[in-house]
Amino acid sequence: MRSSHLLTRRTITRLRTLSPLSQHPSPSPSASSASRFSTDAASHPSNRVQIHLSRSTDALLNLSVEHRLLQITPPDSTVLTLYVNGPSIVFGRNQNPWLQVNLNRLAQIAQKKKKKNTSAAAATGWNDAAAIQLVRRRSGGGAVFHDGGNVNFSVICPPEQFDRNKHAEMVVRALKALSRPNTRVNERHDIVMDVASSSSSSSTEKAATYKVSGSAYKLTRLRSLHHGTCLLRSPNLSSISGLLRSPAQGYLDARGVDSVRSPVRNVDVDNDEFKDAVVREFESMYGEVHLRDEFDDDTALQVEEVRRGYEELGSKSWTWGQTPRFTFSTHPTQEDPRPRAELPFDLNMRLVANHGVIEDMDIKHRDGAAVDGLDASVFHGARIWEMDDWAASLARAGLGSSLSYEAGQWLNHMFGTEYTKL
């Protein structure tokens, strides 16, 4: 018989690693027993239905635990994890952060937090006291914004049971149970909310549709992962669009996945109420829960594999160095004929990078003439995220002081140098 106690209302023990001297856990820690969460318990074949709740707000930590659960939980098990991240932008495994994110705004927010600079806060429209984490996740999909006003859900299940709508519909049922009947899953597998215009005088007028939840997926031979975030009461809703709009968009042609932009809206539901409702729907779908636990930063990082995953996700070589090949060009090319705005300096610049490392750099005058004394080959092999100042680098390559300053300042803005060098 299914336990009636919800995850957020019961006494739950912490995630930990069993000592090598510890005995193996008992065969089946039940949903009603005071079992201890461990990697052994999560991987035990008898624990076919599991619920894990995070007390951490660190996006790196939550994604690392989620990934470890994907690796070790039994092949026939179904696992729900719920977590709330602090302010963060989480982008897809195959995305380009220079294309997807306004890094200059992240730098302003980071400096505001460091210096408590209220003018910077006003400039960014930022309503949170914390800086923003930038995280490349291991799953695909687009870039999303997280803060304390949204809850992330994750379901791991056997590949043969995977369906992009299945657990999105589970979340919609939870929202409907919380008096949000105008929510649904759309054709893109996102959760949206239809909102009638307050000024509408006609019952036939079409409602506006807002995205309240987006999802990403990861499939392996033995397991599948569907995770998503639901906007509940984000205080930073008006800032999301600006944070996810890079100034380099008009100049950068990238391989990989682009983000689909949609108008967003809060559902206006309490975090804990949402978690409880999702747990109820999950229990309704899968019956008795064999393992319920929670974890926090200290206990999760005691797990060696979680700690290694955490360090990898937090490394610059992962965040920037996993970026697929891209071309950045100040002018239309045969491969990228989009028109560009005329720049305030007499240069055409083009660079090709793979994994964030410059493979080719070409700099000429706008009329195609070579720049006297310039050796652009000095950029070959340079890591873009390690460029402290493009103006200084251009000067070292032999570009004149006026041109190097003007073009360098512009490139600093395009590539968010103030953020990447933090």
Domain that holds residue 397: 326-420
Let me know whether 114 and 228 are in one domain: yes
pLDDT of residue 12: 40
Task: Tell me what pLDDT residue 5 has.
Answer: 41
**Inside any domain, residue 1:** no
Domain presence at residue 40: yes
pLDDT at 36: 43
Q: Residue 123 CB: number of other CB atoms within 10 A?
A: 13
Into how many domains does the chain fold?
2
pLDDT tens digits, 158-186 = 999 999 999 999 999 999 999 999 999 99
Output the pLDDT for position 126. 65
β-pair type (252-254, 326-329) = antiparallel
The answer to the question of residue 212 being in a domain is yes
Q: Measured between alpha carbons, how far is 178 from 175 in angstroms, rounded to an integer?
A: 5
Nearest CA-CA partner of 164 in 138, 143, 183, 190: 190
- The verdict on 353 and 238 lying in the same domain is no
Tell me the CB-side half-sphere exposure of residue 113, using CA atoms within 13 A. 15
Tokens matching residue 39: 């990697």
Q: Are residues 250 and 333 in the same domain?
A: no
Q: Are residues 46 and 183 in the same domain?
A: yes
Please name which of 197, 191, 157, 194 lies closest in space to residue 174, comparing C-alpha atoms: 191
Answer yes or no: do 315 and 332 share one domain.
no
Statement to judge: residues 37 and 128 lie in one domain: yes
Report d(CA 410, CA 252) in Å as an integer. Answer: 14
Strand order in the sheet with 252-254: 252-254, 326-329, 348-354, 357-364
Cα of first residue to Cα of last residue in the chain, in angstroms, is 53
Q: What is the pLDDT tens value at each position of the chain, 422 positions in all?
A: 444 344 443 334 334 333 332 333 344 444 433 344 478 999 999 999 999 999 999 999 999 999 999 999 999 999 999 999 999 999 999 999 999 999 999 999 998 877 765 554 444 456 776 789 999 999 999 999 999 999 999 999 999 999 999 999 999 999 999 999 999 999 999 999 999 876 655 555 678 999 999 999 999 999 999 999 999 999 999 999 999 999 999 999 998 777 878 899 999 999 999 999 999 999 999 999 999 999 999 999 999 999 999 999 999 999 999 999 999 999 999 999 999 999 999 999 999 999 999 999 999 999 999 999 999 999 999 999 999 999 999 999 999 999 999 999 999 999 999 999 99
Give the CATH number of the domain where residue 111 resides: 3.30.930.10
**What integer pLDDT is reported at residue 125 of this predicted model?**
54
13 and 146 together in one domain: yes
